[in-house]
C-alpha cells in the first residue's frame, strides 16, 4: 500500500496535494455535501490518482455511495 493510503492522515495529504482540497482529520466525518468544491470531477481525479499510486483498481461503486471522506478513504484503502 502506498504511504498516501497507509492512514487517514496520508489520505488527507493526498486530497490536498493532488486535488487541492484542504481536508484535515477533523473533516473526515463531515458530509461531502459540506464541501462545495467536491464534485464528480474530483471523484474521478481521486480514482485516477489512487489507481496510479496503488497499481490497483478502485471500487468506484463504493465511492459513489460514500457520504464522507472517511468512507472514501476506507473504500480506496480496501477496509
What domains are there in the chain, each with its CATH number? Answer: 3-77 (1.10.1200)
Condensed to tens digits (0 to 9), the pLDDT of residues 40-58 reads: 999 999 999 999 988 889 8
Separation between Cα atoms, residue 3 and residue 9, nearest integer Å: 10
Given the C-alpha cell 471500487, which residue does it identify?
Answer: 59
This prediction has a pTM of 0.89
Separation between Cα atoms, residue 14 and residue 65, nearest integer Å: 20
39 φψ region: left (φ > 0), alpha (ψ -120 to 50), beta (else): beta
Q: Which residues have a Cβ under 8 Å from the Cβ of 19 and sit 6 or more positions away?
A: 42, 45, 46, 49
* pLDDT at residue 15, rounded to an integer: 95
* pLDDT at residue 2, rounded to an integer: 61
Amino acid at each position: 500500500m502506498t504511504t498516501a493510503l497507509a492512514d487517514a492522515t496520508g489520505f488527507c495529504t493526498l486530497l490536498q496535494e493532488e486535488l487541492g482540497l484542504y481536508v484535515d482529520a477533523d473533516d473526515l466525518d463531515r458530509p461531502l455535501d459540506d464541501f462545495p468544491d467536491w464534485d464528480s470531477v474530483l471523484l474521478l481525479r481521486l480514482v485516477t490518482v489512487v489507481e496510479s499510486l496503488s497499481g490497483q483498481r478502485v471500487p468506484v461503486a463504493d465511492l459513489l455511495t460514500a457520504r464522507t471522506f472517511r468512507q472514501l478513504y476506507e473504500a480506496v484503502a480496501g477496509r
